[in-house]
Homo-oligomer: A and B are copies of this chain.
Amino acid sequence: MPIPTGVGAEELRRANLRAILQTVHTHGPTTRAVLTKQLRLNRSTIGALTGELQSLGLVTEQASAVAGRSGRPSHLVVPQSDNVVVAVDVGVDRIAVAVVCLGGEVLAHRFRGHQRGQHDVAHVVESVARMVEDVLAVAPPRTRCLGIGVAVPGAVRARDGMVRSAPNLGWVDEPFSELLGERLGRAVSVGNDANLGVVAEHMRGAAVGYTEVAYLNASVGIGGGFLVGGVPLTGASGYAGEVGHMQVDSVGPGCRCGAIGCWETKVGENVLLQHAGRQPGGGPPAVAEVIAAARAGEERAARSVEEVADWCGVGLQAIVNLFNPEIIVLAGSLSQVWVAAQTRVTRSMERSALVSPHGEILICAAGLGEDSPLMGAAELAFAPVLDDPQGVPQAV
């Protein structure tokens, strides 16, 4: 393709406004001197651009103690933290909500179980709406809410946020973003939890600086989110990355999706709990208890951890063969099992001599712990303003 011609001055200015706002949102306060260098623009142009962002209420400028290239102290461009979004992570066990400021600081962070343990969409919409209203009610005065982003554990149609299928919530074709948006009287963006998780890990977590990333998050099910060439893998309609339903065990148990022997029926946290003789539903603390018991010598717990570790390796080997990632970021019970039984997982992955992952692939626990999908949901809500700072809503 030819290099596009006819990039006008206005288009260039928008691109530079965007670049400055994205830089301070991602990396925090940045001197004008650094921005000047990064954007290859002159000082007066940078000054005009940061002035415009300031008048839009998106940044402030402070005198910096650090001297610039000229020897004079360079202004520090600071993301204005009264711009916030509300991020929501709808899990199978609990709902988490956070207020996240421009620049990434988390102001409020709450979670609670589903209302009466119910997953039906009307109950979830009502629970989430109340939690959102509660956190916004206690936000400082002059807070401007730029948007609401929600992570859900299912296939979300990119075009309109329709949740096509979330087997572990029992949802099929639920227009969740529409329902929540109507209830709150605000636009709501919805995305798949793992697709959002990988974005957050790339931006502020374990995958900073990598372009080929696999993020795998196990709780009741397993979500997968991928970066390919630094860009989130969405597929044709937004459903890519559903790693949990690869058939790995032809004689395995039935899965909520209708098939048998899906990867998540072999490594989900409830599988680990039940094989160890525990009740399902205890979440990460219960998984930690089993791992501790295994370490202390309880044979049933140890066998369960080993079995799950072996099946982790089976799925990870498929991921490595399909995506050849630089880094695999593990979250939820996958991360717990990895930390406890790394050698066993690695040995299982290396059953196949195809391409040895050893020494070529970094495998690690999520840098943001359980919060990657939540922080990714915040980025989903920030996206319109980061993409077009001049379009920022001026009303609170």
Contacts and interface: CB of A to CB of B under 8 A. Distances in A.
A262 B318 CA distance: 10
A317 interface: yes
Interface residues of A, number: 66
Contacts of A229: 228, 231
Interface stretch (A253-261, A291-299, A368-376): A253-261
A353 B166 CA distance: 10
Interface stretch (A4-12, A113-121, A281-289): A4-12
Interface string A198-237: 0000000000000010000000000010001101011111
A343 interface: no
Given A16-B2, A19-B1, A247-B314, A262 B324 contact: no
A257 B325 contact: no
A46 B167 CA distance: 56
A19 B354 CA distance: 38
A144 interface: no
Contacts of A258: 351-354
B236 A325 contact: yes
A390 B109 CA distance: 59
A236 B236 CA distance: 22
A242 B321 contact: yes
A147 B182 CA distance: 61
Contacts of A11: 3
A16 B2 CA distance: 5
A322 B240 contact: yes
B3 A12 contact: yes
Given A228-B233, A235-B324, A355-B239, A259 B317 contact: yes
Interface in A306-332: 314, 317-318, 321-326
Contacts of A246: 246, 248, 318, 321-322
Contact of A245 (B165, B248, B317): B317
Nearest to A252: B250
A278 interface: no
A164 interface: yes
A322 B322 contact: yes
A241 interface: yes
Interface in A338-364: 351-355, 360-361
Q: Which of A255, A261, A314, A322: most chain B Cβ within 10 A?
A: A322
A255 B360 contact: no
Given A246-B321, A250-B248, A322-B240, A212 B235 contact: yes
Contacts of A39: 2
Nearest to A237: B324
Most chain B C-beta atoms within 10 Å of own C-beta, residue among A165, A233, A252, A314 = A233
A265 to B, nearest CB: 12
Contacts of A1: 15, 19
A352 B164 CA distance: 13
Given A224-B322, A235-B325, A257-B354, 13 more contacts: A1-B15, A2-B19, A3-B12, A236-B325, A239-B321, A243-B321, A245-B318, A246-B321, A247-B248, A247-B318, A258-B352, A260-B351, A322-B322
12 contacts: A6-B40, A155-B355, A165-B355, A212-B235, A233-B323, A236-B325, A239-B355, A242-B354, A246-B318, A247-B318, A250-B251, A259-B351
Interface of A: 1-3, 5-7, 11-12, 15-16, 19, 39-41, 155, 164-165, 167, 172, 212, 224, 228-229, 231, 233-243, 245-252, 255, 257-262, 314, 317-318, 321-326, 351-355, 360-361
Shortest Cβ-Cβ A-B pairs, 4 listed: A235-B324, A242-B321, A259-B352, A240-B324
